[in-house]
Amino acid sequence: MKNLSIPFLLGVACLFGACDNTITVIETPLEEQPKVEDPVITKDVFSGYVQKGPYINGSSVMITPLDGQLNQTGNVFTTQIIDNSGNFERKNVEFASNFIELKADGYYFNEVKGENSNGSLTLYALADITDINSVNVNILTHLERQRIIYLIQNDKLSFADAKKRARNEVLGIFKLSLPDDVASESLDLTEDVLLLAVSLIVQGQLSTGDMSELLANIISDIRTDGRLDSPVLGSQLMNNVAFLDLDKVKSNIEKRYSTLGIEMNVNINELKNHIKQFKDNCGFEQTLGIVYPEMGKYGPNILADGFVDAKSYENGIPKTYSVKAELPAGNSSLKIIIKSGIGFYQGSDNNWLVSNIGSQFTFSVVESGKSADASVIFVGTCSIEYYENGATTPTKVKKVYVDKGDTAPDDAREREMLIAFYQSTNGDNWTKKDNWCSAKPISQWYGIETWYHPASGKSRVKSIALPNNNLTGAANLTDLKSLYDLNVLDGNKIESLTIDNCGNEVSQDYLNGTRPVFYYDNNYGSCNLKALNISNSNGYIYVNGNFTAEAVTISNCKLSAQRSMYFNSPSTKIGTLTVSDCTMGYFYADNSVIENIAIDNCTFLKDEHGNRAYIHVGNKTTVNNCKGLRYIYSKVCSDLTVTNTDCNDIRCGD
């Protein structure tokens, strides 16, 4: 361009003023501007750490100088992580600019699962290295990068202002904060619990690929306005922390650094506070929880929402149902209590731990992150209590109504026996006797529960519960081969009770649980018997409370290693207790008052840990011809007589 001189301007003025002077144009050359060279930043050693959890040895690190608009200058420096702490360094390097970008790519230690990641992860950081020789790369530096670039290139902020603003906006997503003079790239996982909290919130139980996608989506969402607007992304972050086991995380990462010779002590209270701060204030909804599908492996799922009606039988065959739940990985947990109504279950190996007390079943999930399923059939209406994620009171309760119609035929022999039992115990004067001795199925008789016996195709008695019901006289229960739960003495005035050939077709799975063939724990008053006779029956025997009997005889009963014969209450008083030809885990009677105990020709079993197989007594006792005993204990040595029994460990005294 030509410069116009002052004479030229005067000439123009004269022209408009009718001036006759000559116009002269003088060209003056433009003064040359000096070329500004980019500064050269020299670092003897430039280093840092790449941390999600710490990146592993051999991961790559690329360092790229940038101009003032954060565009690449063309120079790239490469190095790699030199140990499993995520440490990298580059010596004797000259940067043409004070602004740099770091890009790290590799595998990292997953602090949630306690193992190396299942895929590689790329993280970035931007920094001004004018006055620093070290830059760390982490989740915060990665999330703020694109926002910084946008603020500089579009809002014309300085690097320092853009960096501070982007950092605060990213921390705001997690409802966390840092002092103004603390940059994201200065944080160290071994010292800053806040950084660990952010890493956990984005990691959760996600795979590396899914987490990488989540990070990319968050970066895109916040790029132009610095706010996380997507409720879907926010819910994913909430889901990530919903079932985190923070104590396990602490253990995982401390052990990892310990193997590297680095001491790390996570302040667990501070970590929990950071996570709680996010959960309580982020404003996003948790959508991850325990799922109860409508169907399971064995049929309709009784835990599913809306399931309230069931059948005992269908076309004369017991109808099976599933008890199914799907738990998120992490520290989620579930316990289900089903009160009454369950006739049979199977599938305890399918991630359920099942136990019972009488007719109450407890299903507990063994391992989160896996489906749990079991098969059940119903014999009556029941209530179901849900205890989710460690709750001590039910998070949900529902009742399932069971139609007992279309049942399998009753076992005729059992029907006859129950009618005889009714007659011998003065049934017409019972307090409650609904449907007894009628043509209705036995399952509809008051106090009776049945279950299906596949081998016979019959409906068999599994439980008789008639406490405090004005039973009197002599009671005989014979050939109830599927019986495992009996309560006819409590609160009644039965003079004698004989149990023969009962419970011996109940599977060992049930015998290993808390299933008695005889159980007495007085809730309605004392019990006074002339005689109690139990023979040829399976299931443990339990007597507690105000129980009095002139004679108790137990013979040829088979118990598992986990089960016992238990007479151990000071208010239990027995004249003579005779046990013969039985198998059991242990015999316990050192606090009861028994005049004479005779244990003859019995076998004692050890459990899987080598325990059990013992006798505890506190009364005059004779042990003869017994096998398998680890030890015998008697309160008074003179009260104990042991003959023909291989036991080298006999203990006496308190």
What does the pLDDT look like over 345-377, one tens digit per residue? Answer: 665 568 999 988 877 899 999 999 999 999 998
Among residues 230, 252, 217, the alpha carbon closest in space to that of 330 is found at 252
For the chain, what is the largest distance between any 2 Cα atoms, rounded to a whole number of angstroms?
A: 152
Tell me, yes or no, whether 365 lies in a domain.
yes
Q: Are 287 and 235 in contact (CB under 8 A)?
A: yes
Q: What was the pLDDT predicted at 346? A: 66
* Res 349: pLDDT: 63
Domains identified in the chain, total number? 4
Domain end position, chosen among 258, 281, 304: 281
Q: What is the pLDDT of residues 474-483, one digit of tens each?
A: 999 999 988 8
Q: Is 527 helix (H, G, I), strand (E, B) or coil?
A: strand
**Is 466 within a domain?**
yes
User: What's the pLDDT tens digit per position in 29-85?
Assistant: 434 434 444 568 999 999 999 999 999 999 999 999 999 999 998 789 999 999 999
Contacts of 70 (CB under 8 A, 6+ apart): 99, 101, 126, 148, 149, 152, 153, 159
Q: What is the pLDDT of residue 515?
A: 54
Separation CA 565–CA 584 (nearest Å): 8
Same domain, 8 and 93: no
What pTM was computed for the model?
A: 0.63
Do 95 and 232 share a domain, yes or no? Answer: yes
Q: Which residue has the tokens 């799975």?
A: 509
The tens digit of pLDDT for each residue in 597-612 reads: 999 999 999 998 999 9
| Of the candidates 324, 228, 321, the residue with the CA atom closest to the CA atom of residue 282 | 228
Task: Please check whether residues 242 and 186 belong to one and the same domain.
Answer: yes
* Rounded distance between C-alpha atoms, residue 23 and residue 37, angstroms: 43
Spatial distance between the Cα atoms of 201 and 139, rounded to a whole number of angstroms: 10
Question: Across the strands, what pairs with 599?
Answer: 579, 623
Specify whether the CB–CB gap between 481 and 502 falls below 8 A.
yes
Domain contains 408: no
Q: What is the DSSP string of 314-373?
A: ETTEEPPEE--EE--SSS--EEEEEES-EEEEE-TTSSEEEEEETTEEEEEESSTTSEE-
My answer on whether 380 and 265 are in the same domain is no
Closest CA to 87 of 60, 58, 48, 126: 48
Read off the pLDDT of residues 391-431 as tens digits, 9 standing for 90 and up. 999 999 999 999 877 677 889 999 999 999 999 999 999 99
Q: Where residue 316 falls among pLDDT bands split at 50, 70, 90?
A: confident
Residues 19 and 151 in one domain: no
In a domain, 362, yes or no: yes
CATH number at residue 382: 2.60.40
Residue 583 near residue 605, CB atoms below 8 Å = yes
Instruction: Give the end of a domain, one of 403, 434, 459.
Output: 403
161 lies in some domain: yes
Same domain, 397 and 510: no
How many percent of the chain have pLDDT more than 90?
75
- Please name which of 218, 216, 98, 102 lies closest in space to residue 158, comparing C-alpha atoms: 98
Question: Which H or E element spans position 517?
Answer: strand 516-521
- Conformation bin of residue 512: beta by default, left when phi > 0, alpha when psi is -120 to 50: alpha
Residues 468 and 493 in one domain: yes
| 148 belongs to a structural domain | yes
Residue in this structure with the two tokens 């950092």, named with its chain if needed: 167
Confidence of residue 132 (pLDDT cuts 50, 70, 90): very high
Same domain? 440 vs 473:
yes
* DSSP SS3 for 279: helix
| Closest to 383 measured CA to CA, from 362, 360, 400 | 400
Q: Is residue 562 part of a domain?
A: yes
**290 within domain boundaries:** no
Better-predicted residue by pLDDT, 575 or 331: 575
Last residue of a domain, one of 252, 281, 310: 281
Domain co-membership, 112 together with 244? yes
Contact present, 120 and 212 (Cβ < 8 Å): no
DSSP state of 4: P
Angle at 206 between CA 252 and CA 366, to 5 degrees: 65
Q: Which helix (H) or strand (E) holds 7?
A: helix 6-16
One-letter amino acid for residue 459 of the chain: S
DSSP state of 291: B
Return the amino acid letter for 147.
R
Continuous segment of H or E residues that includes residue 383: strand 382-388
Amino acid at 509: D
Convert the pLDDT of each residue in 612-627 to its tens digit: 999 999 999 999 999 9
CA distance 205 to 241: 9
Q: Among all chains, which residue has been given the structure tokens 């790229």? A: 64
Residue 634 and residue 513 share a domain: yes
Residue 543 has φ and ψ, to the nearest 5°, of -130, 125
Closest by CA to 556, choosing from 575, 523, 581, 533, is 581
User: Containing domain of residue 303, as a range?
Assistant: 295-403
Contact predicate 27/2, CB 8 Å: yes
First to last CA, the chain: 115
- What's the chain's average pLDDT? 89
> In terms of domains, do 29 and 65 share one?
no
Residue-wise pLDDT for 401-411, tens only, equals 998 776 778 89
- Of the candidates 133, 149, 122, 138, the residue with the CA atom closest to the CA atom of residue 185: 138
The verdict on 70 and 187 lying in the same domain is: yes
